[in-house]
Structure 1
């Protein structure tokens, strides 16, 4: 697995060279690697990015961890499990992140009534969760589900661009397999 890190707001994009693919920048066409996003500045993200995903898993999987049960913790746990090749656990963490993102979106939407938060903040977390889950669908060969997750993420009011890049990877691989 090859990693390539690109700064993007408060999150880092993590290119995963899955299935022997070569990693490439997200703006290159066609993109060769899927992108998963990890929060680098919280929830043990630096451990994940530095190759210590097992240490991050040990911390994030504890019930008493500061980030346990929160969106950023589940997103990072999903990526850490993916890097550790524990796909079943990664899937569970990604599914949990999607559920938490929906809860957070409702809470943040209520806060916008008082001018305290932005829908874009909620949508960005949700887009990250959906995109990471889409990557897991893609590497499992579940192309229709992957496409659906990427498209759902792209419809949100988010600046997150990894869904678009991942959809391009998926389309490229599908086209290559047809020829």
Structure 2
């Protein structure tokens, strides 16, 4: 069975989440600013990493409890400078911890370019602005922030990946049945 409840998180100090809502598979989104949630000013952000991590941990646990996902996807960050990569690595680790504490599968290996490609809004050299415009048109998004659009794109990408995993499992199971089925050919004497 393919997972139908997905929580996708565009992870950053200022980021967003998108999740499957309702029986018809609609999406809800949430934009968040961890720095503001931690009560930090922009200048004190570096000194407040622990408070930001604590806010993220609480936020992810709350989102998992609210949305009851079968899968949580956290976008893999591949760019920017060393300090940003270290911070995002810490954020990803905290989010993965929250998933493990709730016993939810966590996917962390889809970067923005792959997400755009899997979601059908671009890929490779497609700029974020172009992909965001395509996503807004394709998915009917009107008021979401760029972060929320990124989370929606990641959500659709994960859905496509999970469908592919399901198809591959079906093919593998079918091949295994064929190998176990005795041959009906007669052997030459």
Structure-1-length-normalised TM-score: 0.28
Which is bigger in relative contact order (C-alpha 8 A, separation at least 6)? 2
Please identify which structure carries the higher strand content.
2
Structure-2-length-normalised TM-score: 0.27
